[in-house]
Structure 1
Amino acid sequence: MTADDVVLVGVDGSAPSLRGLDWAAAHAAVHGRRLYLVCSYSIPSFSTAALDGGYAALDDTAIQQGARAVLEEAEARVLRTGVPVTSDVATGDAAAVLIELSRGAATVVVGTRGRGGFAERLLGTVSSALPAHAHCPTVVVPSRQASAASPEVTGPARPVRRIVVGVDGSPAAEAALEHAIVEAETWGAELTAVAGVPMGSGSGLLAWLPAAQDHEQVLRDVAEGLDVVVDRALVEHPGLQVRRHVLDGTGAALLTEFSTAVDLVVVGSRGRGGFAGLLLGSTSQAVLHHAVCPVMVVRVPARDDEWSPTDVGRRR
């Protein structure tokens, strides 16, 4: 088995994580991959400084048994789909465990209820640790896609029939576009590439431009740049049609709005070292927090040749 064969899934037995598991199983089935399920836990400890200056760990037997029970339930759920599955119990911080294991996976999938829940614990208060550091694309599956009345209902995952990808001219967005193309071909889905240009008066990025024709020129330039980026990505995929839209608004707002009408949002995020590496870009972070369909975050390492936000209309 190689990394291309594996979909890594974090499970904890909650309804949101089971919804993520169902989506991962459907994803693995269409890609011809196997699932690798991981349930992780941290061993509690307490200070014994008053006695001997050290620390004592509690007996983790019951915790480990509980984790194995979670995995047995999850494996049984997957086996009904016919997708090959293996599982392991791991000790340690859940995010750190999945980040390290993502080195050997094609995709890592977690579920979230939007606030709180498994993925929220993984991603931290800024919902960024896993997508910002994973070594493969991360998919976060919100349980609120099920229904507004019953946000934690689980069941067979909805097939991916419509995909939207954000394109802004950055290397991360181009990597996201490449992954979106593969997903569209694999699922037989419609693919739409969207570039956002904030045009609103006052706070819009184009508010400083002196005349209406300048605004129109920027839109034309961005549309031309979007065509160049998409056409270049389609050279190896001549049979795929990609819709292109340049719209008024920020990438985060547009992709979040599209998430109500599509089955998968794909967004890029540039990885960084140091403190900045703890954070996702503002677009990917906002989309993760507010989207109502699964979101795939494609992370690429930061490069020395920095790009400009207007590059979607200039990179040729």
Structure 2
Amino acid sequence: MAGHVLVGADGSESSLEAVSVAAREARERGLGLRIVHAFVWPHMRAAGLAAAAQALREQADTVVTTAVEHARAAEPDLADVEGEVVTGEALTVLTARSKEADLVVVGSRGLGAFTGLLIGSVAVYLAAHAECPVLVVRGRADADGLIAVAVDSSGDARAAVEAAFGEAERRGTGLLALHVWNTWSAEGPDHHGALSPLVSNISELRKQAGQTLTDALAPGLAAHPHISVERRLLEGRVRPVLIEASKEARMIVVGARGRGGFKGLIMGSVSQALLHHADCPVLVVRGGAEHHG
């Protein structure tokens, strides 16, 4: 079903927080909300276990009912709210359902269907495989501030910039555009894993970094000329710089993969570092996703 925000519920406090955020995102986008509890049913063919199976089913139904009530209490004006118990492993179910969603929202911790899965397992998997952007609720879920976006020249970063302008538009706030650069050459580590020589012309490298930021923002500025954009060229290591910047943002948007400032860094490094350590919610966007909110 198209035109909705998808959120997984497992009965934990973290997932209820994610449900609240998902309900708000659905209201702000004018979309419906779909709450899913995925559960792998144990084999209970032996005599006398029917009652136990029924109890598990009732527990799953309670998780969904509670989540739906929580969403309606959080956003009373959101009329289109549905909940469902789905047979299957949580990540598989959410990934499959993401094909019909505009946004997937997940919490930073969980119980039940997410038992044993750290934030890196749930969020990184979905960010790598979901067919729409993934919003991970962590840090200051109700944070104020600008929408921050990590910028480089990759396709995913361009999609992230587009999504960030959309988030700023919906919230009536400005945009904080971040491009991290350093004095290592753009080629990064060579095929033997050794670092490339230091770039001698620092002023030229800084100029190139500024042009990368300008080029990446141009389409968004053309489409949203009324949105105020603060640009920052930051020198240093990408991950700690972005994590520090998240302390003043209400949300940070990042592409699943990148190059330039992110060259060689895949989902398991920059994006996963933000998913573990950012001080605000993290929106991960893939360039190949059909929907960008």
Task: Report the CA distance between 1:209 and its aligned residue.
Answer: 3.0
CA distance in 2, matches of 1:39, 1:241: 40
Q: CA deviation at 1:250?
A: 2.9
Q: How does 1:87-236 map to 2 (within 5 A)?
A: 87-113=83-109, 118=114, 121=117, 125=121, 127-142=123-138, 144-145=139-140, 158=142, 161-199=145-183, 208-209=197-198, 211=200, 214-236=201-223
| Displacement of 1:210 | 5.5
Q: Distance in 1 between matches of 2:41 and 2:92?
A: 15
Partner of 1:305: none
Distance 1:183 1:286, change over 3 A: same
Q: % of aligned pairs identical?
A: 38
Q: What one-letter code is carried by the residue in structure 1 that aligns with 2:65?
A: E
User: What are the residue-to-residue correspondences of 1:202-281 with 2, within 5 Å?
Assistant: 208-209=197-198, 211=200, 214-270=201-257, 280-281=267-268
Deviation at 1:199, TM superposition (A): 4.0
**For the residues of structure 2 that align with 1:248 and 1:162, how far apart are their CA atoms?**
21
- Structure 2 unaligned residues grouped into runs of 5+: 190-194, 259-265
Deviation string, structure 1 residues 75-108 (Cα, Å, up to 9, x no partner) = 1111122213101001111000000001111000
8 Å CA contact 2:9–2:64 kept in 1: the answer is: yes
Q: 1:102 to 1:126 in 2, by over 3 A?
A: closer
Work out whether residues 161 and 263 of structure 1, in 8 Å CA contact, stay in contact via their aligned partners in 2: yes
Q: Which residue type is aligned with residue 94 of structure 1?
A: A
Alignment partners' CA distance in 1, 2:118 and 2:143: 26
Quote how far apart the aligned CAs of 1:208 are.
2.5
Separation in 2 of the partners of 1:7 and 1:248?
A: 36
- Structure 1 residues 47 and 64: alpha-carbon distance in aligned structure 2, compared to 1, 3 A threshold: closer
Q: Deviations over 1:8-36 (max 9, x none)?
A: 01011111111111111111121111110
SS in structure 2 of the partner of residue 234 of structure 1: helix
Q: Where does residue 289 of structure 1 map in the other structure?
A: 276
**CA–CA distance in 1 between the matches of 2:50 and 2:120?**
25
Q: Which runs of 5+ in 1 are unaligned?
A: 49-55, 146-156, 272-278, 303-316
Aligned residues of 1:17 and 1:118 also touching (Cα < 8 A): no
Deviation of 1:225 after TM superposition, in Å, equals 2.0
**How many residues in Structure 1 have an aligned counterpart in Structure 2?**
269
User: 1:121 offset after TM fit, Å?
Assistant: 2.3
* SS of residue paired to 1:73: helix
Distance in 2, Cα, partners of 1:115 & 1:262: 28
Q: Would the aligned equivalents of 1:16 and 1:117 in 2 still touch at CA under 8 Å?
A: no
Bigger RCO of structures 1 and 2 (CA < 8 A, at least 6 apart): 2
Asked whether the equivalents of residues 199 and 207 of structure 1 are also in contact (C-alpha less than 8 Å), the reply is no
TM-score norm. by structure 1 comes to 0.76
> Conserved in 2, the CA contact under 8 Å of 1:162 and 1:263?
yes
Secondary structure of the structure 2 residue equivalent to 1:218: helix
Query: What do residues 242-294 of structure 1 show as CA deviations (whole Å, max 9, x unaligned)?
Result: 111110123322221122211101000149xxxxxxx7252112111111211
Shift of 1:110: 0.7
The code of the aligned residue for 2:206 comes to L
CA shift digits 1:189-237 (9 cap, x unpaired):
221110111348xxx98983363xx112101111122112212332222
The 8 Å contact of residues 114 and 290 in structure 1, kept in 2 or not, is answered as no
Check whether the contact 1:164–1:194 (CA below 8 A) recurs between aligned residues: yes
More displaced stretch, 175-184 vs 39-48: 39-48
What TM-score, normalized to structure 2?
A: 0.81
| Larger displacement relative to structure 2 (122-131 or 259-268) | 122-131
Cα distance in 2 between the residues matched to 1:94 and 1:57:
24
